[in-house]
């Protein structure tokens, strides 16, 4: 698995690093710390200091397993205008990349370049989810990235993963991502189907049962629940108190039609914990 943790110098980036480091260490993932700054002519000193802290957290979690080899910030090389990188490989690759410029564009460019499986980023706890001075940036990354995205608003370890399903476009990769999240967090799994006044779409109900069977066969304690679409916002708010909210994204998602401002934006804005968008 290839993980990119997008970070800046703010406290929410510090707060996600324990989670990032634990996930990367347990999944033996290639890990990139992608640090974003506004300028693209030279590396900002306070960013370097932050990266050193983040790097140290990563190495604290690898339990001398020889997972990553150390990297030094003095070895950062400019590989393109406004992009610096240093990488090392032990059993897995560990990279620090600094990109200067528009945060959304730079994060998405790195995700594409690395063919990442998961992007993780934190943000402020309010509705606007400010990241590096830009409101709604995590929402934009979650909406536009080609892979799964985990937005962490609270570093609390989730006891439960509440996964919403309203369409049948469920990739094997997304099922596997849930497996890893359940395993790493030692969490329970609740699969929530959405019910309109006309009932549940037959193919969605069938898919829910298939997914339940998939997890039960793998000894994951999963259960399913149906929620009325009109109670959805309230249910999401309640779920975020229980743990991580996950959403299977698909073109047929009716959720996006329910929320005026867009599903992803709403979910991330309203959640108090973490949101995982599955692709």
Partner 1 sequence: MENNKISILILDDEPIVSKRLKPSLEKKGYLVETFTESEAALKRVKEKKFDIVITDLKMEGLSGMEFLTEVKKLYPDTEVIVITGFATMDTAKESFQKGIFDFLAKPFKLGEITSVIQRAEEKIRSNSQS
Q: Which residues bind partner 1 (CB under 8 A)?
A: 1-2, 25-30, 63, 65, 91, 115, 117, 172-177, 179-180, 183-184, 218-219
Nearest to 268 by CA among 152, 108, 107, 132: 152
CB of 157 to partner 1, least distance (A): 15
CB of 188 to partner 1, least distance (A): 15
Q: Which is nearer to partner 1, 214 or 259 (CB)?
A: 214
Q: Which is nearer to partner 1, 53 or 89 (CB)?
A: 89
| CA dist., res. 19 & res. 35, Å (int) | 17
CB of 4 to partner 1, least distance (A): 13
CB of 32 to partner 1, least distance (A): 13
Residues in the chain: 279
CB of 127 to partner 1, least distance (A): 31
CB atoms within 10 A of CB 123: 27
Q: Which is nearer to partner 1, 23 or 35 (CB)?
A: 23
CB of 34 to partner 1, least distance (A): 18
| CA dist., res. 112 & res. 28, Å (int) | 21
Q: Which is nearer to partner 1, 133 or 146 (CB)?
A: 146
Q: Which is nearer to partner 1, 2 or 201 (CB)?
A: 2
Angle between helices 45-61 and 11-27 (to 10 degrees): 30
CB atoms within 10 A of CB 213: 11
Q: Which is nearer to partner 1, 27 or 95 (CB)?
A: 27
């Amino acid at each position: 698995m290839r993980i990119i943790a997008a970070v800046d110098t703010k406290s929410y980036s510090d707060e996600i690093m324990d989670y990032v480091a634990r996930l990367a260490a347990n999944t033996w993932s290639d890990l990139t710390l992608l640090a974003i700054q506004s300028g693209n002519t030279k590396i900002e000193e306070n960013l370097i200091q932050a990266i050193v802290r983040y790097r140290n957290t990563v190495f604290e979690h690898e339990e001398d397993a020889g997972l990553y080899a150390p990297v030094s910030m003095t070895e950062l090389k400019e590989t393109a205008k406004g992009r610096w990188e240093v990488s090392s490989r032990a059993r897995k690759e560990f990279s620090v990349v600094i990109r200067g410029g528009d945060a959304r564009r730079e994060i998405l460019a790195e995700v594409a370049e690395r063919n990442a499986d998961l992007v993780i980023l934190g943000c402020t706890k309010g509705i606007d989810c400010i990241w590096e001075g830009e409101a709604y940036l995590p929402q934009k990354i979650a909406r536009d990235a080609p892979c799964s995205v985990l937005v962490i608003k609270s570093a609390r370890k989730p006891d439960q993963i509440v996964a919403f399903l309203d369409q049948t476009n469920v990739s094997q990769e997304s099922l596997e991502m849930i497996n890893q999240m359940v395993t790493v967090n030692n969490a329970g799994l609740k699969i929530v189907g959405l019910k309109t006044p006309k009932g549940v779409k037959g193919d969605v109900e069938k898919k829910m049962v298939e997914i339940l069977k998939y997890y039960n066969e793998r000894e994951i304690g999963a259960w399913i629940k149906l929620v009325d679409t009109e109670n959805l916002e309230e249910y999401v708010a309640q779920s975020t108190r229980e743990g991580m909210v996950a959403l299977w994204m698909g073109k047929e998602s009716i959720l996006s039609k329910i929320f005026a401002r867009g599903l992803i934006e709403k979910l991330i804005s309203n959640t108090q914990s973490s949101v995982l968008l599955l692709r």
